[in-house]
Structure 1
Amino acid sequence: MATSAPERVEQEHPDGHRPRGRVDTVVFGTAAGLALVFLLYGAIDNEGFGESGGNVLGWITENFGWFFVLTSGGFVLFSAFLAATRYGNIKLGPDDSEPEFSTFSWVSMMFATGMGIGLMFYGVAEPLTHLNTPPLGLAEPGSEEAAHLAMEYTFFHWGFHPWAMYAVIGLTIAYFAYRKGSGNLISAAFRPLIGRHADGPAGKGIDILAILATLFGSATSLGLGALQITGGLANVFGKSGYGTTAAAVVIAVLTLCFVVSAVSGIDKGIKWLSNANAVAAALLVFFLFVVGPTVFILSTFTESLGGYLTHLPTMSFRTGVFGGAEWLNGWTIFYWAWWVSWTPFVGMFIARISKGRTIRQFVVFVIAIPSLVSFVWFSILGGSAFDLQLTQGKDMKALVDAGLETTLFDTLRSFPLSTVTVVLAVFLIAIFFVTGADSASIVMGMLSQNGDEEPNRGLVVFWGVATGAIAVVLLFAGGLSALQTGVIIIGFPFLMVLIGLCVSLWKSLREETFESTLRGPIRRHLREHPGERPVVEPARTEG
């Protein structure tokens, strides 16, 4: 007798999961085909591509900006709730499992993957931009109030909210992969909601969307990194700039580097690069902290942290409906969409390295620690730039107007050993570039191969090259604005996936804790009445 599709899947794979180690031709073929269409469109008609993207972007931000704002705040609250309640004691794996990586390597890898290039690109550029063009027009440019707003909104964009987005997806994937044995697929985490459909067209659609989001999110970062590297090289060699073609060459060279790193695996290439990143970044900011305005930096950190925590609720739910919508769309909504587009690969990567941690450990280390490091980072880099403008009277606004990609290097030139620090900064950007991109390539390979933790090297190479190619197309289609447009467009649909993951995790955690409350009385009954089978009454329902 003929069987239905779901029944055939279950007969071939008794656990109901997709077979690992085998390339999912539907997921890979569809995602690769869509990526190829995008590449051809962008390469053949740059102008039309840019115009179409701008129209879609305008529609999304005008009609759904509030949705980005509301859901991002919800992820923070949901993560905090899980950590603060009894759910925080649950391990991401069997109860006797132990972490695979040391805490330092664990935090270094998640941080380098989750924020790397962005911190280098915006470390000076964002605070200075907000100082001279205050958020939402709430202060006079260059004023003391503008300085407060600038640092608070910078903390806001790089603090709890983005890391909460990474936390909810990483936590969900790790929970279902290592505690429930569902596999390292985003679609697998939807099994409590959609059942066997997680292995059918619906689940495959989720994984295809995750690949595309990863592709666009990482391509945006590569584009930003390439622009800044060319700006840094121009600064080192005393040139005015190298242009988009030079940025494309940088992308090609570093794409080769991160493909080599990615095929070497997480235990070798990515782990080593992440640790090197952490040390080099610490050296850069510590040097600037010592030779720069140390007291000013400490005061900036203290006051900005207090302002951020105080105004966090207001900033979290501001939509610009009463003014300032254009600023919010260009900054906050762009960031939220960028973080959302990064969540598939950052979340899957963090899940991959977090087996054996408890939910409470996971939430605290994934949200609080990286956020604190980001606050210190921006206080040192941004605070040093603020001191140059507010105290020493340097025209930092002119540096911002000259290009965001060069503001870091121009700021470093105002301090001792500038040639060394500029070269170190270029090196850091390159290593962050490689670390983030090779992590993304591995995750796209995992998604294309049914969640296999060691995907086929050919898949990893393919997705690495595709990421670099899309970054080049976006740069030639309009530079920074095209990068922002692409990431918001792909981030919007994936936001729905994040919401579904939260619901699925909540449902499964409640079921697990309910079962654990039953097991206690059952064990006591067996001890008191050996050999007698306990009777458990069904839960009562109303209605």
Structure 2
Amino acid sequence: MKKLTPVFTVSVILTALFIIWGLIPKDILPNGNLDAVTAAIQGFILEKFGWFYLLAASIFLIFAVILIFTKYGNIRLGKDDDRPDFGYITWFAMLFSAGMGIGLVFWGVAEPMSHYYSPPFEEGQTPNAARAAMRYSFFHWGLHPWAIYAVIGLSLAYFQFRKGHAGVVSSLLRPLLGDRVDGPVGTLVDCIAVFATVFGVATSLGLGAIQISGGLSHSFNGVQNNFTTQMIIIIVVTVLFMLSAQTGLNKGIKYLSNLNIILAVALLLFLLFVGPTNFIMDLFTTTLGSYLQNLPSMSFRLSPFDQEITWFQDWTIFYWAWWIAWAPFVGTFIARISKGRTIREFVIGVLLVPTIFGALWFSVFGGTGIYLEFFEQRNIMEVIQTSGSEVALFTVFSYFPLSTVLSLLAIFLISTFFITSADSATFVLGMQTTNGNLNPPNRIKFIWGIIQSASAAILLWSGGLEALQRASIIAALPFTIVMLMIVFSLIKALKKENIVTVKTGKAAK
């Protein structure tokens, strides 16, 4: 790359200004500091546009499912003779590690426990509250978020590998906007995508550092869960993921993603068989059925006649905005690793495999937490409220054999998820800011890696991690509109396809 693209220049400048704004003390700008402004804007968006997020997320899921059963499912993401670069296991591991790794480990116990104590429309700490807690955990981490990722990932893979367009978000709108995507409009769309990606990933890196710090302090008496420990963690992990990022997609990210799956499955199986196995599997089976049965009503449920209930804003709408903010990052990455697959294969894989694994994960970890609280009267929620959500997983481990070993494995798993998320993000940001270059220059990935880690560290220090998260969610509102346009753009492009049927070899009109 001989010169920097406008998207790279604008994105770096905006990101730097935003971080500087976050460092300004609140007493200097009492009403204009980053925390106050982003809190006010997010509150307005969640209150006024919650319905919009719910409708949009459901539209993405319906669209993805319909594609599976249409003739367009036979279209290959690439030329007709292209085949996948990665086997199924590696493919699943890479998309899963990039999509939800740190989040699942962080919230696997904490979210079900929170819903168990404060469920919507239910009295807390009851069997009905436990059922609702598990059902909504499945809901928040299930088909809807992965449908969001599937739509953007499918569109990027289709237009890049089959149509030869640049692998940037703005190019997906070419069927609708024509050559205008090559001008300021396209730059604006790509900058929104980069902005959401940078702050979304930086927030997850901050959460990862907090949980690693919490796990170390919980396991070792001499380690304190404070900013110094978190800063050391960020520095160490930054060095590791920058080394991984320099090796490219086929080495660092591939091997670490496979390692992630091995560690995650090992922890899951250990707790499944050492813990209350029958209860966990009964809970998984029952909740899966309840989730599927109630999926339509949950997808559109708000509380218009009870304005005091803010649970849906605090959880469901917040999550939908959060997943949409992450969509440019995860979508770009899974598009890059999905060349050669058919649309049907892509959508089924992206929707079902992570959803089922996530459901099993919450059943094992969240279900065990609820079991300990409900049947054995352990004080897990009290510990969470006192020490923070980051220690929820380690608190559950403390009631089982080899708790220290389990905690160390979990810390190592969080660290590898941290590395793969950051590694994948530098790759994606490199692509998005070099006009879709499939192998972005190492110096560009290095710059974005430093920006991500610096953002996480600085905002942890200033207490602005929540403001950073809010900024990403604010960016999700315009990107939701972009994604709806992408759906129509993809439909328009697919209608022009000359599809060859598998059995007859004839073109299907």
TM-score, scaled relative to structure 1: 0.89
The correspondence of residues 149-228 of structure 1 with structure 2, limited to 5 A, is: 149-228=132-211
Alignment partners' CA distance in 1, 2:464 and 2:278: 38
Q: Show the 5 A alignment for 1:76-475.
A: 76-134=61-119, 136=120, 138-238=121-221, 241-323=224-306, 325-402=309-386, 403-475=388-460
In the alignment, what sits opposite 1:528?
A: none
Structure 1 residue 26 displacement after superposition: 1.0
Distance in structure 2 (CA, Å) of the matches to 1:54 and 1:153: 25
Which secondary structure state, in structure 1, belongs to the residue aligned with residue 291 of structure 2?
Answer: helix
* CA deviation map 1:108-157 (0-9, x unaligned): 000000000000100000001110111x2x11111000000000000000
AA aligned opposite 1:223: G
Q: In structure 1, what residue type is equivalent to 2:169? A: I
Is the CA contact 2:46–2:318 (under 8 Å) kept in the aligned structure 1?
A: no
* C-alpha deviation, 1:320, in angstroms: 2.9
Query: For the structure 1 residues 194 and 388, does the alpha-carbon distance in structure 2 shift closer, same or farther, using more than 3 Å as the test?
Result: same
Distance 1:84 1:521 in 2: 19
Q: Is residue 489 of structure 1 aligned with residue 469 of structure 2?
A: no
* Post-superposition CA distance 1:61-114 (Å, at most 9, x none): 111111111100111000000111111111101111111001100000000000
Instruction: Classify 1:30/1:292 alpha carbon distance in 2 versus 1 (closer, same or farther; 3 Å).
Output: same
In the TM superposition, what is the alpha-carbon distance from 1:220 to its structure 2 partner? Answer: 1.4
The answer (yes or no) to whether the contact 1:24–1:450 under 8 Å persists in 2 is no
- 1:142–1:23 CA distance, 2 compared to 1 (3 A): farther
Deviation at 1:492, TM superposition (A): 1.6
Pair 1:241–1:336, CA change in 2 (3 A):
farther
* SS of aligned partner of 1:202: helix
The Cα RMSD (Å) is 2.0
Equivalent residue for 1:30?
10
**C-alpha distance in 2, partners of 1:377/1:63?**
33
Code of the aligned partner of 2:283? T
User: 1 CA distance for matches of 2:331 and 2:506?
Assistant: 37
Cα contact 1:214–1:345 (8 A) shared by 2: yes
Closer, same or farther: CA 287–479 of 1 in aligned 2, 3 Å: farther
Give, in angstroms, the shift of residue 209 of structure 1. Answer: 1.2
What secondary structure, in the 3-state scheme, does the structure 2 residue paired with 1:115 have? Answer: helix
Cα deviation, 1:426-452, whole Å, max 9, x if unaligned, reads: 000010011011101111111111111
The CA distance in 1 between the partners of 2:123 and 2:505, in whole Å, is 65
Distance 1:258 1:320 in 2: 43
TM-score by length of 2: 0.95
Give CA-to-partner distance per residue, 1:201-260, whole Å, 9 cap, x none. 111111111111110110111111111011001011136842234323322221222111
Using the alignment, how far apart are the partners of 2:174 and 2:484 within structure 1? 14
Distance 2:304 2:278 in 1: 39
In the alignment, the residues of structure 2 paired with residue 225 and residue 119 of structure 1 have an alpha-carbon distance, to the nearest angstrom, of: 11
SS in structure 1 at match of 2:85: coil
Moved more, 339-348 or 39-48: 39-48
C-alpha change, 1:196 and 1:53, in structure 2 (3 Å) is: same
Q: CA shift at 1:472, angstroms?
A: 2.4
Whether the 8 Å CA contact 1:23–1:449 is kept in 2: the answer is: no
Tell me by how many angstroms 1:194 deviates.
0.9
Q: Distance in 2 between matches of 1:476 and 1:314?
A: 42
Q: Distance in 1 between matches of 2:132 and 2:88?
A: 34
The one-letter amino acid paired with 2:437 is: D
Q: Whose Rg is larger?
A: 1
> Does structure 2 retain, via aligned residues, the 8 Å contact 1:213–1:342?
yes
Structure 2 residues not aligned, in runs of 5+: 28-32
- Measured against aligned partners, the alpha-carbon deviations of 1:41-63 in whole angstroms (never above 9, x if no partner) come to 11123572211111111111111
Bigger CA drift: 497-506 or 348-357?
A: 497-506
* SS in structure 2 of the partner of residue 416 of structure 1: coil
Distance 1:484 1:334, change over 3 A: farther
Contact between 2:23 and 2:459, CA under 8 Å: does it hold in 1?
A: no
Identify if the C-alpha distance between structure 1 residues 522 and 242 changes in structure 2 by more than 3 Å, giving closer, same or farther: closer
Matching of residue 45 in structure 1 with residue 45 in structure 2: no
**C-alpha deviation, 1:477, in angstroms:** 4.2
Q: Deviation per CA, 1:390-428, whole angstroms, max 9, x where unpaired?
A: 111112220221210110001111111001000000000
C-alpha change, 1:166 and 1:424, in structure 2 (3 Å) is: same
Letter in 1 for 2:190: D
How many angstroms does 1:345 deviate by?
A: 1.4
- What letter corresponds to residue 298 of structure 1 in structure 2? M
One-letter amino acid of the structure 1 residue matched with residue 325 of structure 2: S
* Aligned counterparts of 2:361 and 2:190: Cα–Cα separation in 1: 34
Contact 1:46–1:477 (8 Å) recurs in 2: no
CA contact (8 A) 2:500 2:506 kept: no
Give the letter for the 2:44 counterpart.
W
Q: State how far apart, in whole Å, the 2-side matches of 1:46 and 1:229 are.
A: 28
Q: Is the 8 A contact 1:219 1:471 kept in 2?
A: yes
Unaligned stretches of 5+ in structure 1? 1-20, 525-538
CA shift in 2, pair 1:256/1:290, >3 Å: same
Does the CA-based 8 Å contact 2:156-2:167 persist in structure 1? yes
